[in-house]
Amino acid sequence: MKPTTAPKTYRVKSFGCQMNVYDGERMAELLAEKGITPAPEGEDADLVVLNTCHIREKAAEKVYSDIGRLVKAGEERGQKPMIAVAGCVAQAEGEEIMARAPAVSMVVGPQAYHRLPEMLDQAVSGKRATDTEMPPIAKFDALPKRRKSAPSAFLTVQEGCDKFCTYCVVPYTRGAEISRPYNDLITEAQRLVEAGAKEITLLGQNVNAWSGENAKGHAVGLAGLIHALAEIDGLSRIRYTTSHPNDMDDALIAAHGEVGKLMPYLHLPVQSGSDRVLKAMNRSHTSDSYLRLLERFRAARPDIALSGDFIVGFPGETDAEFEETLQLVDKVRYAQAYSFKYSARPGTSAATMDGQVPREVMDERLQRLQAALGRDQHAFNAASVGKNCEVLIERKGKHADQWLGKSPWLQSVWFEADAALGDLVSVELVEAGPNSLAGRLLEMVSA
């Protein structure tokens, strides 16, 4: 590669899960420290960071089409952008990207992006740079302090996964489970609140596997961290995601009844309602143990909104086994959920299992599952009509004085008010749609 001028503007495009969104924000902060500014909306950036996801085939392939599009647009304009590939595809296929896409000058894995500024210097001097090392924690210490925050902020507390579900790439792209130290998290949360955050969502591939030592030197789990964060003045709401059924403990369940700032929402993926399929997935819970766990959350917090993840068409899944998933859905009545067609991922053991399910069968199963989940989501929203609740304003609506925010149950609520981003308001929920609710302003809670 030829030496080039240093980029003046950047754009970070994040795909995949919320942990990638968090990483994307941190990369943007690193670039800003180097004096590079965000490209204005609608304008081309000198440096584009593609922060990728490897979870399903479609997500992973997207990176190559995106690179192609950037190169083409750059050629038409007479100035190609510098391209960095970050995230889970970078981790899984770093060398392949470098070989397949000469336009890419940097490949940086999710545990190495604190090195982006040095890699950028290298790229400017004409040398392509790759870093997919996985040193635990090093990254966080090397990142700049938080200075700006949206009303609702993400905070990664735990990274990596040791569960090795047989279909999943995450243990390979994100490495082993690690917990960030308690004090670092309290400090980062305080900074986020000073920078404007009213709500913090604690993130981890298995967030409830987080453990640490509190200020008194006592071992604590996620519930202990949540109790401490609830003490921060100015922080109104706490959420956490994604949990694994096997890492749940009594303290976290109890916290839902004890901590007012902890929102009544639980995302607990189940993947399937069939015990045979769950075993083949290496999920280490049964449909029954999962249901009993949910009952305990409902006992601690009766209005808790439940959410989950599902995979249809795992290798060997029969019609009858798929029906068991529908039965589980009927029992739980999720407020909201995500469902996916199984996607064979390189290097995972399920990819070579017998009984790969034909695409048409997966399509049909996904449609039926999504119809059931959609029905329950609409019913949950409809049952909320008439309730009064607090809404944290996160976005401006389409019309003047129209605002959008989230209810405690993570529903999108829109309403009219003379208000501002980040205000917490009290509304009456007056009308329900499948994906959102209309509210009527009652009063301002805090500006």
Verify binding: residue 161, ligand SF4, rule CB under 6 A: yes
Q: Which stretch binds ligand SF4 (CB under 6 A): 31-39, 77-85, 164-172, 373-381?
A: 164-172
Shortest distance, CB of residue 161 to ligand F3S, whole angstroms?
8
Shortest distance, CB of residue 111 to ligand SF4, whole angstroms?
15
By residue count, the chain amounts to 447
DSSP 236-249: -EEEEE---GGG--
Verify binding: residue 20, ligand F3S, rule CB under 6 A: yes
Query: Which residue among 105, 130, 149, 173 contacts ligand F3S (CB under 6 A)?
Result: 173
The footprint of ligand SAH on this chain (CB under 6 A) covers a number of residues equal to 18
Verify binding: residue 274, ligand F3S, rule CB under 6 A: no
Q: Which stretch binds ligand SAH (CB under 6 A): 91-99, 102-110, 165-173, 174-182?
A: 165-173
Q: What do you get for the CA distance between the two ends of the chain, in Å?
A: 52
Q: Provide the token pair at 101.
A: 């896409």
Angle CA(393)–CA(398)–CA(403) in degrees, nearest 5? Answer: 15
Which residue minimizes CB distance to ligand F3S? 16
Amino acid at 271: Q
Q: Which does 343 bind (CB under 5 to 8 A by kind): ligand SF4, ligand SAH, ligand F3S, none?
A: ligand SAH
Shortest distance, CB of residue 176 to ligand F3S, whole angstroms?
14
Verify binding: residue 343, ligand SAH, rule CB under 6 A: yes
Verify binding: residue 53, ligand F3S, rule CB under 6 A: yes
Shortest distance, CB of residue 137 to ligand F3S, whole angstroms?
17
Verify binding: residue 248, ligand SF4, rule CB under 6 A: no
DSSP 342-364: ----TT-GGGG-S-PPPHHHHHH
Alpha carbon distance 20, 15 (integer Å): 7
- Give the bridge partners for 266, in sequence order: 306
Residues 6+ positions from 128 with CB-CB distance below 8 Å:
1, 98, 104, 105, 106, 122
The residue whose two tokens read 């479609």 is 58
Helix (H, G, I), strand (E, B) or coil at 396: strand
Verify binding: residue 425, ligand SF4, rule CB under 6 A: no
Helix (H, G, I), strand (E, B) or coil at 221: strand
119 vs 277, which CB is nearer to ligand SAH? Answer: 277
Alpha carbon distance 416, 439 (integer Å): 8
Residues 224-263 that bind ligand SAH (CB under 6 A): 242, 244
Residues 6+ positions from 365 with CB-CB distance below 8 Å:
312, 313, 317, 322
Q: Which does 164 bind (CB under 5 to 8 A by kind): ligand SAH, ligand SF4, ligand F3S, none?
A: ligand SF4
Query: Which residue among 27, 165, 220, 235 contacts ligand SF4 (CB under 6 A)?
Result: 165
Query: Which residue among 152, 205, 381, 407 contacts ligand SF4 (CB under 6 A)?
Result: 205
Residues 6+ positions from 238 with CB-CB distance below 8 Å:
199, 200, 201, 202, 226, 229, 230, 259, 261, 262, 263
Binding residues for ligand F3S, rule: CB under 6 A, are 16-17, 19-20, 53-55, 87-88, 169-170, 173-174
What residues line the site for ligand SAH (CB under 6 A)?
55-56, 161, 167-168, 170, 205-206, 242, 244, 269, 271, 309, 311, 340, 342-343, 345
Residues found near ligand SF4 in the complex (CB under 6 A)? 161, 163-165, 168, 170-171, 205-206, 244
